[in-house]
A and B are shown apart, each in its own frame.
Chain A
């Protein structure tokens, strides 16, 4: 019994499952990361994903095109991010409180708009919506193994991969990225050096909103082809946790997000087996989050204690 389960862990299907599950987590993780890079705290990832997911579907329904839907979703994501910027930077509210407010607000507001437009509160099932599809890449799809993995994924998964690379270049290889990180490390020093800290922080929040909205729209427009109430279901929080583990290290960020996706996929295999209690299995991804956060904290604690790094 165990052998069949462990057998199914190392199959092509398992890897493609991981890829599909990792996309929203990557988006959420980089959304949290980019905001944190300039010292901003965006804990509203979950709600921006919800708004993006709904706005994408409704936009696609109203305009009749999935791509304009995507654009509308992005605009809504940016607007929400700007709302955070407005309240935290101009009006002096704590970004954590704004995040809590938005997260509390998100699902109900989404239901309100869903109800206003469809007359239903559960899902956008009654709307005939255009959605995005998956893509077969001509040459690559014929390569064995790699072709199966890389080709045939959803459009927004490829968008995600491209963004992951571009973001790396932006943060680590461009002067703009250097400045953004400088704001995050020490805003006062950065200001003294002539950097417009506020501008960069707003920029990072806007990018954060874009990424989170893409993550939400991956779920609704691209993956399940419907908006269903509360469909983000904690994936935004996993992205925030990944960023917490990474604490500024991009490589660790991506690995953490990937690990969460792997554990989500593992829990899928176990939840249809008789071996472990399902409640325990459903907790696997969250337990993984807890476990890795703890490990990283312990490592950090000892590094600070032994004087390898200074406490920040």
Chain B
């Protein structure tokens, strides 16, 4: 009995340690810094959000695979997403103290506060915020470059596409949480649909993981007549795709990465319902920043914040073969026109992050042409 107990205990300890192992660098892993190469540390809470942390992690692998003298080390600092200050500052101390890295990357609205603190603490270290929603009140630190995504424009384009594709005159979007940052996705969406007189349904299941709820939410939406449904809900979005796949005449629009490609081989039934995806190209920007680091132009960007829009390929629609095959040519032409208009700044797109009085400004736009 004792022996069994001991072995069970040992097994569990081993498993726990293995599960905690994520603190180690998962890419790169070269202990000795290259003499004339560049080293980049990327600090994210964890992989597996099925959203832009994963996109960024994939970009890290790609940069490492290219032989251009840049080594990226990815650290998963906060697997539980606890956002505890001491933990994060400890991680920043670890990577900044020795000046071992040329660039330290972190971001996201939950964690960027720690990044700003670190930037203040280590003025000689270069930092890159891969997705900012708020900047420090004192302005962008002189040793930091911040990027964010023209999600308002992205939502506008998705709305225009949905309006052109719907046969029932009703479309829908499933948003994980109801907050100012998430609503940046759908401000332009609601705006363009209202302009075009298309009804839309907006659901907030209040979770990014509860796939069952995602599926049922979508079924409810489909019952209300929605036939083009956009998901902006991380893992819960799997439920949205699953529900859409069960209806022949319903299209789903993916988010962040090209979800058609993601499911094409493993789950064709799902892939064949994903008309296109609203891309948030965190990876493209990260690779560009790495490029700037290598050719020395990144220094000029320090102290600035920039929105990566359609023109910079920061956001856009996935134009894969499936999209080209199943989206009629006139719709594609219309979408291209919208893209051009938005890029040229001809449309004033609603941006929730720029609202000064969000609580009063947002609801009228959200509910303008919404289905109950």
* A268–B219 alpha-carbon span in the complex (Å): 10
**What sequence of 0s and 1s flags, for each residue 70-105 of chain A, a beta carbon within 8 Å of any chain B beta carbon?**
000000000000010010001100000000000001
Is A20 in contact with B242, judged by CB distance below 8 angstroms?
A: no
Which residues of chain A are within 8 angstroms of B235 by Cβ–Cβ distance?
A: 122-123, 228-231
Asked if A282 lies at the interface with its beta carbon under 8 angstroms from chain B, I say: yes
With both beta carbons as reference points, the residue of chain A lying nearest to B178 in the complex is identified as A278
The reply to whether A279 and B209 contact each other, CB–CB distance below 8 Å, is: no
A125 and B220 in contact (CB under 8 A), knowing A86-B8, A231-B211, A274-B370? no
Let me know if B295 is at the binding interface, CB within 8 A.
no
Set A17, A228, A279: member contacting B206, Cβ < 8 A:
A279
Contacts of A278 in B (CB 8 A): 178, 204, 206
The answer for the CA separation of A229 and B239 in the assembled complex, in Å, is 12
Please tell me if the beta carbons of B216 and A20 are within 8 angstroms of each other in the complex: yes
CB distance from B49 to the nearest CB of A (A): 6
B267 / chain A contacts, CB cutoff of 8 Å = 125, 128, 225-226
Q: How far is the CA of A153 from the CA of B202 in the complex (A)?
A: 27
* CB pair A223 B215 closer than 8 Å: yes
| With A229-B235, A271-B204 as contacts: A128 and B5 at CB distance below 8 Å | no
Contacting pair A228 B8 (CB below 8 A)? no
Whether A24 sits at the interface, judged by CB under 8 Å, is: yes
A265: interface (CB < 8 Å): yes
Measured between C-beta atoms, what is the minimum distance from A215 to chain B in Å?
Answer: 11
Stretch at the interface among A27-35, A108-116, A162-170, A182-190: A108-116
The yes or no answer to A192 lying at the interface (CB within 8 A) is no
How large, as a class, is the contact surface on chain A?
Answer: 35 or more
Asked if B358 is at the interface of the complex by the 8 Å CB criterion, the answer is no
Chain B 251-265 interface residues, beta-carbon cutoff 8 Å to A: 262-263, 265
Given contacts A112-B15, A125-B266, A226-B211, contact A271 B203 (CB under 8 A): yes
- Enumerate chain B residues within 8 angstroms of A120, measured Cβ to Cβ: 47-48, 54
Contact B266 A128 (CB under 8 A): yes
Q: Is A272 an interface residue (CB 8 A)?
A: yes
Q: Are A122 and B266 in contact, CB atoms less than 8 angstroms apart? A: no
Q: Are A21 and B212 in contact (CB under 8 A)?
A: yes
Interface residues on B, range: 35 or more
Chain B's closest residue to A134 (CB) is: B246
CB B157 to nearest CB in A, in angstroms, measures 23
Q: Given the interface contacts A1-B372, A121-B47, does A109 sit within 8 Å of B204 by beta carbon?
A: no
Contacts of B363 in A (CB 8 A): 274
Write the chain A residue with the least CB distance to B54.
Answer: A122
- For residue B372, which residues in chain A have a CB less than 8 angstroms away from its CB? 1, 4-5, 273-275
| Contact count A vs B, C-beta below 8 Å | 153
Please, which residues of chain A bring their CB within 8 A of the CB of B172? 272
CB pair A219 B367 closer than 8 Å: no
Interface assignment of B238: CB less than 8 Å from any CB of chain A: yes
Q: Check: B283 CB closer than 8 A to any chain A CB.
A: no
Bound-complex Cα distance A277 to B220 (A): 19
A264 part of interface (Cβ distance < 8 Å) = yes
A224 and B262 contact, CB distance less than 8 A: no
Tell me the smallest distance from the CB of A188 to a CB of chain B, in Å: 25
Q: How far is the CA of A265 from the CA of B205 in the complex (A)?
A: 11
Best-buried of B46, B54, B210, B263 by chain A (most CB within 10 Å): B210
Residue B16 at the A interface, CB < 8 A? yes
Taken together as a complex, chains A and B put the C-alpha atoms of A20 and B215 apart, in Å, by: 10
Contact A272 B5 (CB under 8 A): no
Q: In the complex, which residue of chain B has the Cβ closest to the Cβ of A275?
A: B372
The answer to whether the Cβ of B344 comes within 8 Å of any Cβ in the partner chain is: no
| Contact in complex: A229, B201 (CB < 8 Å) | no
Minimum C-beta distance from B10 to chain A (A): 14
Partner of B263 from the list A8, A86, A125, A281 (CB cut-off 8 Å) is: A125
Nearest residue, chain A, Cβ from B234: A122
Q: Is there a chain A Cβ closer than 8 Å to B19's Cβ?
A: yes
- Cβ of B370 and Cβ of A231 under 8 Å apart? no
State whether A282 touches B205 (Cβ < 8 A).
yes
Q: Which residue of A lies closest to B266 (CB)?
A: A128
Q: Which 9 A-B pairs have the closest CB atoms?
A: A121-B48, A282-B206, A272-B203, A122-B50, A233-B210, A122-B48, A230-B209, A278-B204, A112-B19
